[in-house]
Amino acid sequence: FGYSRWLREDLSLGLKVAVLEGDVSTSVGSTVATNAQGIVALRVGMKKYGPYSTLRTPTRPYVSLGAEALVASADRTSATVGGVSVDSQSLGAFGVVLGAGVDFLLGHRLMLGADVGYGAVTDFDEPFAGRRNYSSVESSVSFSWLFGKGF
């Protein structure tokens, strides 16, 4: 989920929340266990659209730069005849994302976008889901509804 606001015709500010990883599992035997874990990325960034010649066309290439925080959380609960055990883990990491993409204006109110980038993120203090480092290449496709009059 995201929100962008054009500050100028060639510059936009955006906020984005994305689920990078999520898993829920339950096992039943002599012990009943439930595990839930996930990583959420919270990002704020800027898009700088291409040369002025592309601003009046339906195809708008851009470069982007952003800062992000990763929040990882895991909860494990197990119950046996002897008692209940609850274990929680929360971790955080910070980083930057550099990318490039293109937006396609499909009309006055609709826009389709595609981008690719690299997110360089600090390591978690301890392994989460078997990894400490979640730096990686990222890609996305977006569909946008445009509000307002535009430029």
Q: How many C-beta neighbours within 10 Å does residue 90 have? A: 10
Cα 116 to Cα 110: distance, rounded to the nearest angstrom: 21
Local structure of 151: helix, strand or coil: coil
Q: What is the pLDDT of residues 18-64, one digit of tens each?
A: 888 888 888 888 888 998 999 999 999 999 998 876 777 889 999 99
* Residue carrying structure tokens 């937006």: 103
Q: In this model, does residue 148 exceed pLDDT 90?
A: no
Of all residues in the chain, what percent carry a pLDDT higher than 90?
A: 48
In this prediction, residues 91-117 reach a mean pLDDT of 93
Rounded to two decimals, the pTM is: 0.78
Longest Cα–Cα distance of the chain, Å, equals 72
CB 133 within 8 Å of CB 118 = no
